[in-house]
Amino acid sequence: MLEIQDTLVSLDLFSQHFCCDLSVCKGCCCVEGDAGAPVEEEEIAEIEEAMEVVWDELTPEAREVINQQGVVYSDPSGELVTSIVNDKDCVFANHDADGACFCVLDRAYREGRTKFQKPISCHLYPVRLKNVAGTIGVNYDKWDICRCGVELGCKLSLPLYRFLKEPLIRRFGQAWWDECDLAYGELKKAGYLD
């Protein structure tokens, strides 16, 4: 682990390669798992505000779930997560003509229709944040469904932290990311990285 500002960053962010390969995985991280994506409490109001824009783009099943329980719920560990359909699909997931999953929140944001992109946990994936005694741990969540992302990242020689530059800056700021980049250079120079 490296200490960067007020966070502890796993060395995996520098040593592991990654690049999402949606043409292969079809966005299955939005539909696999046993709970929704983690949501920060301050994101709930922003998600609810975006509902006015994306409501008609949600699946009928997703609209029904949201009407019954809202955009988030507490999972068995007490963490706030996005609501899910049929114990599987995120309510914000939809599919394009090729069967690839996409986030209606993210699409609306990228088209300039909303101010909220998507939960930061989704944007950062496959990195997960964990608050331990007031310190944020920044960790790589290895999941077999993302194997194609590892393969593409290796082919491109793209370190995980560089693949996640945009969301890491969104969450922690440019100065934090610049420190990561500096740490990567130092680790490489010292022979800790391939």
Task: Round to whole Å and give the CA distance between 109 and 173.
Answer: 20
pLDDT value at position 112? 96
- In angstroms, the Cα distances linking 124 to 44, 86, 136, 138 are 17, 24, 14, 10
- In angstroms, the Cα distances linking 141 to 51, 55, 109, 120 are 29, 31, 26, 15
Q: Tell me if 107 sits within 8 A of 32, measured CB to CB.
A: no
pLDDT value at position 167? 97
Apex CA 51: angle with CA 49 and CA 146, to 5°?
Answer: 110
All residue ranges of the chain with pLDDT < 50 are none
pLDDT value at position 80? 94
Angle between helices 174-189 and 165-172 (to 10 degrees): 130
pLDDT value at position 33? 72
Kindly list the domain boundaries of the chain, sorted by start residue: 1-18+126-188, 26-117
Measured over the CA atoms of residue 177, residue 181, residue 184 and residue 190, the dihedral's sign is negative
pLDDT value at position 65? 95
pLDDT value at position 34? 73
